[in-house]
Amino acid sequence: MLQLLLSLGKDHGKSILLSTHLLGDVEQVCDLVVILDQGHVLRHGSVAQLRTTRQDRYRLQIQGDPQAFLEDLHLEGVRILHNNERGGLRVVVPSGWVPRAFFTLADNNGVVLRGLQRDDEDLEELFHRVLSSNSDQRSAVSGQLPACD
């Protein structure tokens, strides 16, 4: 189905309106995206514009015993988003962080940093962040406290 949508748009010049919560599919077949919440436009633009590179997120690939390295990252204010337990980490760094600090901490803890790259936000993450932010704003306006997990 996705190939058909791609073909209709690119090969035949057709515009298609796709309404879905399958945001991985949206990234594959859509050029422009509109994020709606309760009938209000929260974000719109090209997939590339919306998937901006986050200046505070990185993907790391490490080799070695990660325990002390992870503890030092935490002490430095780095938050681990995902640890695949095979050396792959997704992290959020504090303001003012310099990537060189990853190498210093790795060296100090006997870990080899095999990979380091900025981590783009995918549409799924953007969608949830924007909806959460909008919900918090609505709660503040109505005088209610936002729901806690």
Q: Do 59 and 32 share a structural domain? A: no
Average pLDDT for 44-56: 81
The number of helices, as runs of H, and strands, as runs of E, in the chain is 6, 6
User: Containing domain of residue 17, as a range?
Assistant: 1-51
Picking from 114, 126, 127, 10, the residue whose alpha carbon sits closest to that of residue 66 is 114
In a domain, 21, yes or no: yes
Q: Is the pLDDT of residue 46 over 60?
A: yes
Q: Is the pLDDT of residue 139 over 70?
A: no
In a domain, 135, yes or no: no
pLDDT of residue 81: 92
In a domain, 36, yes or no: yes
Query: Which one is predicted more confidently, 134 or 67?
Result: 67
Query: Which one is predicted more confidently, 20 or 91?
Result: 91
In a domain, 137, yes or no: no
Q: Is the pLDDT of residue 145 over 60?
A: no
Q: How far are the Cα atoms of 24, 61, 66 from residue 99, in angstroms, in the given order?
A: 29, 14, 18
For the chain, the average pLDDT equals 87
Share above pLDDT 70 across residues of the chain, in percent, rounded to a whole number: 91
Q: Is the pLDDT of residue 75 over 50?
A: yes
Report the CATH number at residue 114: 3.30.70.80
Average pLDDT for 14-25: 86
Beta carbons within 8 Å of 106's beta carbon, 6+ residues apart: 62, 69, 112, 113
Question: Which pLDDT band holds residue 57 (cuts at 50, 70, 90)?
Answer: very high
> What is the distance between the alpha carbons of residues 37 and 131, in angstroms, rounded to a whole number?
7
In a domain, 7, yes or no: yes
pLDDT of residue 149: 46
* Tens digits of residue pLDDT in 94-120: 999 999 999 999 999 999 999 999 988
